[in-house]
Amino acid sequence: MPADCTFAVIPAFNEDRCVGDVIRRVRQFLPSAHIVLVDDASTDSTAQTARSAGASVIRLPVNSGYGVALQTGLIWAYRNGAQTVVTLDADGQHEPAEIPALLHPLSAGEADLSLGSRYLNHGARYHVPFLRLLGSRLFARIASRLIGQPVTDPTTGFQAMNRKVLDLYANLREFPEQTPDADLIVYANLRRCRIVEVPVIMHADQGEGSMHGAIKSAAYVPKMLISILSVLAAGARKQAA
């Protein structure tokens, strides 16, 4: 797996306080990777800080949500020949030192999609908010049932994917605009992608911005249920085509 075909995609909104350190630490563990930050119309100096730290920056003209920012970065990576992509947040929650562990199942040919789980081996180094934990457990059960294997952390944004999954996500018209997590796991499984979970350490959010406002809202549950139904329908159409 050529190092120069590995990309790191980092969605961000108002994270100038943390993003520079995140990018520098990603570079430490992916020295030859292409790092792209997708700035979701931040009102602070997130874009400038990211450029100064050595990342390419895509700036969205209006605030569009985490899902739009994420897919924008995935499309950019796909069109620029990425064979492997790591996704992580800009707020310091995801530990770049765990990137090699996330990539290992892909490089070993054991998986197409690697999910970093904070709930395996007690990797969460912070108190997970109750509503977040409740939603995660609910959709862990739903996703586990739908894909036929255990999933403990369906809301993780700390992932690694190969070209097969990248192709699916970059070209998915129904890509969730706000909350891409359990729904995309289900979709990847429908498209016969091999999925594994890897225990990782996660820290408390160190940033002031929020790209996960919908996740923290009670509206997350009905939105995610609708989104899962949407990707199930998309998968059925793909299979019928």
* pLDDT value of position 39: 98
E strands of the chain, at which residues?
6-12, 34-39, 56-59, 84-87, 113-117, 159-162, 195-199
pTM of the model: 0.89
Domain boundaries, the chain: 3-240
Rounded Cα distance between 78 and 64, Å, is: 20
Position 6, amino acid: T
- Tell the CATH superfamily of the 3-240 domain: Spore Coat Polysaccharide Biosynthesis Protein SpsA; Chain A (3.90.550.10)
Among the ranges 82-96, 119-133, 194-208, which has the highest mean pLDDT value?
82-96
Q: What is the pLDDT of residues 18-75, one digit of tens each?
A: 999 999 999 999 999 999 999 999 999 999 999 999 999 999 999 999 999 999 999 9
